[in-house]
Chain A
Amino acid sequence: MNRRALIKGSLLACAAAASPRLFEGRLLAAPRQTTAGDDEKFVREAAYWKKLTGTKVECELCPRACKVADGERGFCGVRENRGGRYVTLVFNRPCSMHVDPIEKKPLFHYKPGTRSFSIATAGCNVECKFCQNWEISQFRPEQIESIHQTPDDIVEGAIRSGSATIAFTYTEPVVYCEYMLAVAERAREKGVEGVMITNAFIKEKPLLDTLKVLGAIKVDFKGYTEDFYKTYCRGELKPVLEAMKRIAKAGTWLELVHLTIPTLNDDEKVIRQLAVWVKDNLGPKTPIHFTRFHPMYKLKNLPVTPVKTLERARDVSMDAGLKYVYAGNVPGHPGENTYCHKCGRMLIKRAGYIIKENLVQNGKCPCGEKIPGVWS
């Protein structure tokens, strides 16, 4: 079985698990709601675009600002100009659904130890050469298996699976923001919070709308240089920094991940500059995770990140003044644990995605210090 088949299989399995029909014992009798030959039912008018001359439109969702001629799609591959009307092709069209621990996102300071009902549609507005989910993020929606799931279906699945949150993740939620907003609004009505795992390559207006309905955001921060963003991600650094400042200013819970890739974005000097920027602009208690790279997609010629590199990045960042710095993708490493920024006591002991111990009570360390995050 190849990776794509595995994704497809797990999607269907998870859809089954999320479906109320499973609990009624009739799953096998129900048709698979795959999208083959049925693409039109997922089309909705897109938000965030404007007309240009003739039938041309400009997307106003992300800083790329694609100018799209009739019949063409934006860079993301999931938004299309149809006769001068811009549409999304992925409304109600998840291609991936899983129930994950929230720690897998990773969000370490947001409802730890809870489940997160995690979904994605096809598409992404950047193209990282090291993308870990390229088999769904870098494909068009009609090229991969999807199922039909309304916002109500998703929320119901989340509740039935005992999830505290719905995570918009795996690919890039910005490109399916209409669907994300609809799901997140419905979820909040039912007491389930939405969380977004994003590259933060998004314009101000859609970001502000998104912040109104989400409980937390984790930003996959690529590297603290424009050159890295341009060369390895086909994106831009500056708009991402601006977006993160807006998230912090809005008070939405924010954590950062820095996938640390040997020789490409692991320079200590640059990591220190990043840490200083985070401290000055997002606050010293903003968690940041330095996670281990594994060769993938178009970057197969580099080794797995040495643990020492992650440790050094963590040390440098803490030395620069950040209080919650983690080492990721290294199960059992002490850098996975949460320590009180005041007394230094270990508060949450983790082994991979599993919480072995959690001493945080009412959002506080036993020493009485308030620990930043959302704890219940």
Chain B
Amino acid sequence: MDRRKFISVGIGAAAAGAVAAGVKAVLDGTEANGAPRGGAPRRPVVAVVRAGSAKSPADLVRALYRRLVERAILLATGASGLREAVLGVASPSEMVGFKLNLLAGPRLSPSPEMAAALAGVFAAAGFSRERLVLWERTRAELRRCGYSQDLGATVAATDDPGAGYEDEPESSGELGSCFSRLLTRRLDVLVSVGVCKDHDLSGVSCGAKNLYGVIHNPNKYHDQNCDPYIPDLLASRPVKKALRLTVLDAATVQYDGGPLYSEATNAFFGGVIAGRDMIAVDSVARSVIERLRKEHGLKTLKETGREPTWLATAERRGLGVADPARIKVVEETV
């Protein structure tokens, strides 16, 4: 799909205007990280960077992912340089955890190549590999998705010996869970590394839903399309204090049949979506999914009874911006 079509169908006219304005704003450095400046309302930036030369996920090799990730982080942060962008997210003295979503297996999970590229961007900014942790719930999931190789970072699982979950539950709104000790004791910074996919209960599973993997009892929080449980999780102390960046491996986008891989409802997208505001990132990802659903003659998520209402709930609670009209989408093809 070309850029014009993406903008016109996916984001909508209002958001399209924001894209243009957003590109200018970001490149001018007039606004960073969606933070208000000069009394202007907060407008988070979401970067959508796609590989123009790629025709299938196999084309997205590490070097190409590296370019995508670099541009995405640069645009999403509004920094003048990549090092500055990364250091705006975390300090090299901090432990940075990249929470992967490997539930769906190798065909619909963040690829190791993308994760390695992401770790490489941080390494280039001065982070030692010991301070970069690619992690998921179980070692089995990591193995299954190819995370046994050297990716320039530490690889960890909550079910590793010595890790596990906290002994006592922590409450946040309706949610009460034991959090992974990797998050509560080992990591300072949380980067959600998800995919862009449909989910049969939460509507979409991108950056936020990925974080169900940091608690011991995610199966308890799928009622009512995960609303208000996802916002509760994002508002929880362990997540809130650590979450700084969301990066989606959008090599493919699954627009129906999630959360597992579905050959018939999967489209090549060839990109990376990133932002500091997770709700904004997920809102943009939702737009992409809705657009693909429309293109394939499917009902909207709302019409199928699984509208991701938790996005609006999260916005009402000040956890991010869900309204597309208030998000600056910066799109670029490399």
Contact = CB atoms under 8 A, between A and B. Distances in A.
Contact of A56 (B138, B200, B220): B200
A298 B174 CA distance: 11
B201 A71 contact: no
Given A2-B167, A54-B257, A142-B159, A74 B219 contact: yes
B219 A77 contact: yes
A131 B257 CA distance: 35
Interface in A169-194: none
A70 B138 contact: no
Contacts of A129: 176
B216 interface: yes
Contacts of A75: 219-220, 222-223
Contacts of B259: 69, 71-72
Contacts of B260: 69-71
A3 interface: yes
A71 B104 contact: yes
B217 interface: yes
Interface in A114-133: 127, 129
A70 B197 CA distance: 14
A69 B201 contact: yes
Interface in B260-307: 260
Interface string A228-267: 0000001000000000000000000000000000000000
Could you tell me the dominant secondary structure of chain A's interface residues? loop
B29 interface: no
A109 interface: no
A76 B219 contact: yes
Given A54-B257, A56-B200, A298-B176, A73 B219 contact: yes
A152 to B, nearest CB: 30
A77 B217 contact: yes
B103 interface: yes
B30 interface: no
A139 interface: yes
A43 to B, nearest CB: 14
A69 B258 contact: yes
- Name the residue among B167, B217, B257 with the largest chain A CB count within 10 angstroms: B217
A184 B92 CA distance: 59
Contacts of A105: none
B169 interface: yes
B165 interface: yes
A2 B168 CA distance: 10
A3 B260 CA distance: 36
Nearest to A4: B167
A70 B264 CA distance: 15
A54 B265 CA distance: 13
Interface string A63-87: 0000101111111110000000000
B73 to A, nearest CB: 30
Contacts of A37: 140
Interface in A1-42: 2-4, 37
Nearest to A71: B260
Contacts of B200: 56, 67, 69, 72
A318 B210 CA distance: 53
A37 B161 CA distance: 12
B171 interface: yes
B169 A297 contact: yes
B257 to A, nearest CB: 7
- Name the residue among B216, B217, B219 with the largest chain A CB count within 10 angstroms: B219
A292 interface: no
Interface string B162-173: 001101010100
Contacts of A2: 167
A143 B165 contact: yes
Interface string B149-168: 00000000001000011010
A165 interface: no
A142 B200 CA distance: 24
Given A71-B104, A72-B201, A142-B138, 13 more contacts: A54-B257, A56-B200, A67-B200, A69-B259, A71-B259, A72-B219, A75-B222, A129-B176, A139-B216, A140-B217, A143-B164, A234-B223, A298-B169
Chain A to chain B: the 3 pairs with minimum beta-carbon distance, closest first: A69-B200, A71-B260, A77-B219
28 contacts: A3-B167, A4-B167, A54-B257, A69-B199, A69-B200, A69-B258, A69-B259, A72-B200, A72-B201, A73-B219, A74-B219, A76-B219, A77-B219, A77-B220, A134-B169, A138-B216, A138-B217, A138-B220, A139-B216, A139-B217, A140-B216, A140-B219, A142-B138, A143-B159, A143-B164, A143-B165, A143-B216, A297-B176
